[in-house]
């Protein structure tokens, strides 16, 4: 660290900080990552899993752009499943149980061995600026590091406190120290601070579980991996288990609800609506007598089991009654008590679509500090913040992913356009173009973008080009026609399909309701030269051809509005026809385009029409 001068500093080494730091270093910038504790690098503080509904999409997109989360997950997973298989391919979602210990260890090693990247255990207390621009950071121990850009990725550590009943202690997750000095600095810089809350369930001993009462949840074999770089099919090394709370669980919680910090005023922060504590679920859904509980191994080298679905901040003595009331946990040994955690975060409406703070040039934020929940949402933002910090240093225009290009684009656009008053969670329903934004085609959508900014290396790019070429060849190959002979007639009858009068193409067969590309491949011994990855892509593109074409048309219409830009200093208060609320929201958020303006809560279609007319009159469009 000679001269203690860097191109960029990343504050925090959670999932956002790791991706930001790696992106900057891999794109040639001398980068420092600071962390409160080296043992907390890429720590899975809550669920020992990566992916899930919509979150799996984010991981594949991170990978397609050149990020590390997918690679790290594939290398350390102990079980993998494809969720939503009974539904359409738009919502297929990978979810893996990661080995919590190995995930941290491998990611730490990747950071330590990355050229241009330096790691420092330190608490940052001040972000230094000159003339409205970042110029360095200062640690609580008095060290100063000069830099041209800063990415703040502090996770849930800002003034964090854990809560277990009446017991409250200033602490980060898992007993790690909190960051106590940076919030005041952020406020002085102009950030509006919110207070959010999340929680985690108990960890219990595997030895104390009666598995005979539980339902086994096995992983899936021969499914895609998270990373397009992974050359071998991920192997399942363990199983998870399904059980349920009981009416007794419900009664215990209701009897002690007056001691629940969530309801007696101890917890002040806003919690996640889509991942509530067990006491919140029971109060919200009083008609339900039981709730699902998943028991998930934390790692292969430990007996700790994560009790998914029973997050709580109830007092210890209540937890000691509650967990044994769950089926199969009658003799449970709690190794780590459940707790809630409150922390500071910022108002994401103060950010540009590049994740740069509007008030200070070169200052970016990413992850849970922006009001999101989840490892995957954090990593996605970290990657984009890292890319844009590099582009800022180089004096280039920032990267903004559109909503039609990725779930990452949807995530960031929602944050900077709509804001969030609770921990934001990515869901497939948030994306308008779900059929196009699939996991399997994340590389087709994003790898060229990653290459253009200098993050996708030759190995990854060549894999991508090879896949694209093979999809083209396979798409051409399915135009091949097969004659109507006895074998074809038998095939069609077996699949309960009508028999045509003349020869039929493989493509036409695949388009039929009861037939897919693998049925044709295996029965007629065709398309043998193509991988399952290519066959899956061609199968989906063929079966959903009409729907995809409609989405392409919708995307083209949307892009016209995305291309209509609004000057950054445009004075909305001078437009007489705009409602007061619309003027206020437009002035606060300062949308880049007409499309972004149309998505702002409180701005009506009539407001947009008035705005377009004014922009035309002033010669901007």
- Rounded-to-10 torsion of CA 579, 585, 589, 591: -30
Closest CA to 435 of 536, 544, 543: 544
Tens digit of each residue's pLDDT (9 = 90 or more) over 502-524? 999 999 999 999 999 999 999 99
Tens digit of each residue's pLDDT (9 = 90 or more) over 453-467? 999 999 999 999 999
Give 589's Cβ-side CA count (13 Å radius): 29
Q: What is the pLDDT of residue 559?
A: 81
564 pLDDT tier (thresholds 50, 70, 90): confident
Tokens 């949307």 -> residue: 558
CATH architecture of the domain formed by 563-617:
Orthogonal Bundle (1.10)
Closest CA to 597 of 381, 416, 356, 405: 416
- Burial class of residue 20 in the structure, from the number of CB atoms within 10 Å of its CB (0-12 exposed, 13-18 middle, 19+ buried): buried
Strands 93-98 and 49-51: antiparallel
Cα 272–Cα 275–Cα 278 angle in degrees, nearest 5: 110
Cα(104)–Cα(98) distance, rounded to whole angstroms?
10
**Residues 6 or more apart from 186 whose CB is under 8 A from it?**
127, 152, 193, 346
For the packed helices 486-494 and 517-524, what is the interaxial angle rounded to 10 degrees?
Answer: 140
619 pLDDT tier (thresholds 50, 70, 90): confident
CATH architecture of the domain formed by 203-339:
Beta Barrel (2.40)
84 pLDDT tier (thresholds 50, 70, 90): very high
Q: What is the pLDDT of residue 554?
A: 86
Q: What is the pLDDT of residue 500?
A: 92
Q: What is the pLDDT of residue 1?
A: 47
Q: What is the DSSP string of 471-487?
A: HHHHHHHTT-EE--SHH
Q: What is the DSSP string of 3-58?
A: GGB-SEEEE--SHHHHHHHHHHHHTT--EEEEES-GGGTT---S-SEEE-TTHHHH
Instruction: Please give the average per-residue pLDDT across 3-13, as a whole number.
Output: 93
**Residues 338 and 313: beta-carbon distance below 8 Å:** yes
For the chain, the domains span 2-200+343-441, 203-339, 477-550, 563-617
Q: What is the pLDDT of residue 306?
A: 98
Tens digit of each residue's pLDDT (9 = 90 or more) over 393-423? 999 999 999 999 999 999 999 999 999 999 9
Cα(280)–Cα(512) distance, rounded to whole angstroms?
46
**Residues 597 and 586: beta-carbon distance below 8 Å:** yes
558 pLDDT tier (thresholds 50, 70, 90): confident
Cα(481)–Cα(498) distance, rounded to whole angstroms?
17
- The CATH number of the domain covering residues in 2-200+343-441: 3.50.50.60
Query: Which 8-state DSSP code applies to residue 300?
Result: T
Cα 285–Cα 203–Cα 247 angle in degrees, nearest 5: 30
State yes or no: pLDDT of 3 exceeds 80: no
Tens digit of each residue's pLDDT (9 = 90 or more) over 476-491? 999 999 999 999 999 9
Report pTM.
Answer: 0.93
Instruction: Please give the average per-residue pLDDT across 521-536, as a whole number.
Output: 95
Residue 590, SS3 per DSSP = coil
Q: What is the CA radius of gyration of the chain?
A: 26
State yes or no: pLDDT of 300 exceeds 60: yes
Cα(216)–Cα(522) distance, rounded to whole angstroms?
32
Sign of the torsion angle spanned by Cα atoms 377, 382, 387, 392: positive
**Residues 92 and 438: beta-carbon distance below 8 Å:** yes
Tens digit of each residue's pLDDT (9 = 90 or more) over 192-229? 999 999 999 999 999 999 999 999 999 999 888 999 99
553 pLDDT tier (thresholds 50, 70, 90): confident
Mean pLDDT of the chain: 95
| Span of 18-22, 126-130, 569-573 with lowest mean pLDDT | 569-573
Closest CA to 519 of 495, 544, 486: 495
Instruction: Please give the average per-residue pLDDT across 534-547, as a whole number.
Output: 95
Tokens 């799996």 -> residue: 56
Cα(293)–Cα(243) distance, rounded to whole angstroms?
5
Tens digit of each residue's pLDDT (9 = 90 or more) over 10-27? 999 999 999 999 999 999
Copy the structure tokens of residue 31.
């980068």
């Amino acid at each position: 660290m000679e001269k203690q001068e860097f191109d960029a500093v990343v504050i925090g080494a959670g999932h956002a900080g790791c991706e930001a730091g790696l992106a900057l270093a891999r794109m040639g910038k001398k980068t420092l990552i600071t962390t409160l504790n080296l043992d907390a690098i890429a720590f899975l503080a809550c669920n020992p899993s990566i992916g899930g509904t919509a979150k799996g999409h984010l991981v594949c997109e991170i990978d397609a752009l050149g990020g590390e989360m997918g690679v790290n997950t594939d290398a350390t997973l102990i079980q993998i499943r494809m969720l939503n298989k009974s539904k359409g391919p738009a919502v297929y979602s990978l979810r893996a149980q990661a080995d919590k210990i190995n995930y941290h260890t491998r990611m730490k090693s990747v950071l330590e061995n990355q050229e241009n990247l330096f790691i420092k255990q330190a608490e940052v207390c001040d972000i230094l600026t000159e003339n409205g621009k970042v110029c360095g950071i200062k640690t609580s121990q008095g060290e100063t590091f000069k830099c041209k850009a800063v990415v703040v990725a502090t996770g849930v550590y800002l003034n964090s406190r854990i809560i277990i009943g009446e017991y409250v202690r200033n602490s980060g997750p898992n007993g790690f120290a909190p960051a106590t000095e940076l919030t005041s600095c952020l406020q002085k810089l102009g950030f509006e601070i919110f207070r959010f809350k999340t929680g985690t369930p108990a960890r219990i001993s595997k030895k104390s579980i009666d598995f005979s009462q539980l339902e086994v949840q096995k992983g899936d074999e021969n499914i895609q991996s998270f990373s397009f770089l992974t050359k071998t099919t991920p192997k399942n090394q363990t199983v998870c288990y399904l059980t349920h709370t009981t009416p007794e669980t419900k009664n215990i919680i209701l009897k002690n609800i007056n001691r629940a910090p969530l309801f007696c005023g101890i917890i002040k922060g806003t919690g996640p609506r889509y991942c509530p504590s067990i006491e919140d679920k029971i109060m919200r859904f009083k008609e339900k007598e039981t709730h699902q509980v998943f028991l998930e191994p934390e790692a292969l080298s430990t007996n700790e089991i994560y009790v998914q679905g029973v997050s709580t901040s109830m007092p210890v003595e209540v937890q000691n009654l509650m967990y044994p009331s769950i089926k199969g946990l009658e003799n449970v040994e709690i190794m780590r008590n459940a707790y809630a955690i409150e922390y500071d975060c910022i108002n994401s409406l103060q950010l540009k679509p590049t994740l740069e703070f509007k008030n200070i040039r070169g200052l970016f934020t990413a992850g849970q500090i922006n009001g999101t929940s989840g490892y995957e949402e954090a990593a996605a933002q970290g990657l984009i913040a890292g890319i844009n910090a590099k582009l800022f240093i180089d004096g280039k225009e920032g990267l903004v992913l559109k909503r039609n290009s990725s779930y990452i684009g949807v995530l960031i656009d929602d944050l900077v356009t709509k804001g969030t008053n609770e921990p934001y969670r990515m869901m497939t329903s948030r994306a308008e173009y779900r059929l196009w934004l699939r996991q399997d085609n994340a590389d087709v959508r994003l790898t060229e973008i990653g290459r253009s900014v200098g993050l996708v290396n030759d190995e990854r790019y060549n894999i991508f080009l090879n896949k694209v070429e093979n999809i083209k060849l396979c798409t051409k190959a399915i135009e091949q026609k097969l004659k109507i002979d006895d074998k074809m007639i038998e095939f069609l009858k077996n699949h309960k399909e009508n028999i045509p009068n003349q020869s039929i193409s493989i493509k036409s067969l695949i388009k039929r309701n009861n037939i897919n590309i693998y049925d044709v491949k295996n029965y007629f011994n065709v398309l043998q030269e193509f991988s399952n990855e290519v066959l899956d892509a061609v199968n989906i593109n063929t079966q959903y051809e009409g729907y995809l074409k409609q989405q392409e048309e919708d995307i083209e219409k949307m892009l016209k509005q995305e291309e209509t830009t609004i000057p950054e200093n445009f004075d909305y208060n001078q437009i007489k026809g705009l409602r007061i609320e619309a003027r206020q929201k437009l002035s606060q958020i300062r949308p880049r385009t007409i499309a972004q303006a149309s998505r702002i809560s409180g701005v009506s279609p009539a407001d947009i029409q008035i705005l377009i007319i004014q922009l035309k009159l002033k010669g901007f469009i």
